[in-house]
Every structure is written in structure tokens, then in C-alpha cells.
Amino acid sequence: MSRASQRIVPQHVAIIMDGNGRWANARGLPRTFGHRKGVETVRETVKAAREAGVGFLTLFAFSSENWRRPEAEVNELFGLLKAFIRRDLADLHQASVRIRIIGDKVNLREDIRSLLLEAEERTAENRGMTLVIAFNYGSRDEIARAAARLAREVQAGRLDPCDIDAQKINDSLDTAGIPDPDLVIRTSGEERLSNFLLWQSAYAELMFVPDFWPDFTAAVFDMVLERYAARDRRFGGLSNKVVAVGS
């Protein structure tokens, strides 16, 4: 048995895919080239995650704050998402990958919304890795929508306010039914969560890598998984690792 097969693998990995534009700028290319190269990295990372035994992979594809970008760039991102789903959905389905979409779908263009729903419905019965795409997603917005959902239940008399606890909130989030991330990765050297899975990442291990997203290879991913396996996750308790006397 290889060392890789023996190491601890996170059940759920979430990635903030950052640095497409800066990758392109560093090469004197338009930002759109960085986004296109980033889609290739998505394909490679999904494959690497499946081969590593990761059960859930969440990718931050488009944040609710990304609407502030120039319209042309937003349209490019939408076009790349559509191209990715149309090109890769059949292969993902054949590999038994289940697709889940999180984020606010209400204000999306109908063509985007219908395509995302189609991807979810077509792969709903798959039992392989779950690929979670965070699109038009912001964690504060998600929590606010969950709170409003619970408030409506209280107003309708179906829920006692005293019964609202952490589990009720968790079950009202977009990620209901998905385990919390064990590992959150951000590329490009930035060291912040940027409104991504704030509730769910309470006990996640955080890894910040200097590589721009288009340079995030399978080898870099494997290195991050190796670093994760060496972490001592205590969840507020004592270490499970043997500590030498006097240390």
C-alpha cells in the first residue's frame, strides 16, 4: 500500500479559486485568458480530487460580489460556466459525480438558472464524488436567507423560536446535507475567506498557497493534501497525537 493511500484524506475540500486575472496580467494577456485557463484547472482539480478519494469538492465559481466587475468580464464568466457544463456534464455524469449548486438562484438569468438546475437534476442519483459549485454565492447572504426561512416557519406557527439551534440553522443553509469542509484552500497568496462558507468553515483547516489558480496543478493539490494529513485536528479537545515527554 502506498504512502498516499495510507494518509488521511479530507472528506470535503473547498477551494477559493483566486488569481485568474493576475495570472493573465503577469503574462501581458487579457483577464479573460486567465479565466479560460482557470477552467482547465477546474477539470484537472476535479480529476485529482476524485483520484485522491475526496468525497465533496466545493469550488467558489462566482461570488455575489463579483457583479461589481465589468459587464464584459461577468458575461465571460457566465459563458465559461455554460461551456464547462455543456462540455463536461456527460463525463461527470458517467464518472458518477453528483453536482450541487449553492448560492442565490433567484436573480440569475434564466438560461444560467435552467442550465444549473439541469446539471443538478441529471446527476442527482449519482453516488460518486459530489461537486459543489458556489455560484452567485455569498455566505452572509446565505445565512440571511436561512434566517428569513426560519422566520417564515415561526410566523406560520410551524416552528417555536425556542427550538432554533445551530442544527436548525445548518439545515436551512444552501449546504444542507453536505458535511462541513475539512479543508479550505485559497490560491494566489491572499489569506482571507472573502465571504465563503463562513458558518461551515468554523473548524476547517485553512491552507493559503501562493500559486495563482491557473497554476494550481495536481502536484500542488497533492502537496496541500499532504500538509493537511500532518495537521492535528482537535475540535476544542486535546491532541490525539503522541507528544514526547517534556514537549
Q: Which CATH number applies to 9-138+179-229: 3.40.30.10, 3.20.20.70, 3.40.50.1980, 3.40.1180.10?
A: 3.40.1180.10
What pLDDT was estimated at residue 241?
Answer: 57
User: Is 65 among the annotated ligand-binding positions?
Assistant: yes
User: Is 96 among the annotated ligand-binding positions?
Assistant: no
**Cell (9 digits) for 64:** 455575489
What pLDDT was estimated at residue 172?
Answer: 98
User: Is 2 among the annotated ligand-binding positions?
Assistant: no
Long-range Cβ contacts of 142-150 (<8 Å, 24+ apart): 142/102, 142/103, 142/104, 142/173, 142/174, 142/199, 143/169, 143/173, 143/198, 143/199, 145/104, 145/174, 146/172, 146/173, 147/172
What pLDDT was estimated at residue 76?
Answer: 87
Can you tell me the distance from the alpha carbon of 90 to that of 109, in angstroms, rounded to the nearest whole number?
A: 23
User: Is 7 among the annotated ligand-binding positions?
Assistant: no
Count of H helices and E strands in the chain? 8, 6
All structural domains of the chain with their residue ranges = 9-138+179-229
- pTM here is 0.91
- The pLDDT-based confidence of 83 (bands split at 50, 70, 90) is confident
What do you get for the CA distance between the two ends of the chain, in Å?
A: 32
C-alpha triplet 10, 13, 14: angle, nearest 5°: 160
What strand order describes the sheet that includes 205-208? 98-102, 130-137, 56-63, 12-16, 183-186, 205-208
Residues annotated catalytic, as ranges: 18, 66
What pLDDT was estimated at residue 150?
Answer: 98
Q: Who has greater pLDDT, 19 or 239?
A: 19
User: Is 233 among the annotated ligand-binding positions?
Assistant: no
User: Is 3 among the annotated ligand-binding positions?
Assistant: no
| Run of H or E including 60 | strand 56-63
- The pLDDT-based confidence of 235 (bands split at 50, 70, 90) is low
User: Is 31 among the annotated ligand-binding positions?
Assistant: yes
Can you tell me the distance from the alpha carbon of 185 to that of 226, in angstroms, rounded to the nearest whole number?
A: 13
Asked whether residue 180 carries a pLDDT value surpassing 50, the answer given is yes
- The pLDDT-based confidence of 75 (bands split at 50, 70, 90) is confident
Question: What's the mean pLDDT when you consider all of the chain?
Answer: 91
